[in-house]
Amino acid sequence: MPEIIIWHEFPFPNDTSNRYDFNATWAKMVLELKEFVKNNNYKLIAILGVSPYTTHYYYILEDLPERMEITNQILKLNYIWYLNGQSCIDYQSLLDKDF
């Protein structure tokens, strides 16, 4: 089982604009990954991006002995977005908020 799972997600979870329609295959993969982490003892540690509408989700295996050290290292990074070189924000705290 992988220790860390990362994926690129386009719409934020609270986005109701149906922007997944443009790429059903990608959407299917993201939904399968979400189901996998939900059912296999993973914890969300970061949602990094320059916009809440295109982000990288980071999950870590909860029973990994080094999980705290790895989580802290990821959260301390100056995470740079691959398309434009901008520093990213961790949007995890906004999961329950509407945009």
pLDDT tens per residue, range 23-74: 677 878 888 999 999 999 999 999 999 988 889 999 999 999 999 999 999 9
Q: Identify whether 99 is part of a domain.
A: no
| pLDDT value of residue 13 | 53
Q: How many domains does the chain have?
A: 1
| Among 78, 39, 31, 76, CA closest to 57 | 31
Higher pLDDT, 14 or 49: 49
| Among 48, 36, 38, CA closest to 8 | 48
Evaluate if residue 21 carries a pLDDT over 70. no
| pLDDT value of residue 19 | 55
Q: Is there a contact between 80 and 87 (Cβ–Cβ < 8 Å)? A: yes
| pLDDT value of residue 70 | 96
| pLDDT value of residue 11 | 63
Q: Point out which residues pair with 44 in neighbouring strands.
A: 59
| pLDDT value of residue 49 | 94
| pLDDT value of residue 94 | 78
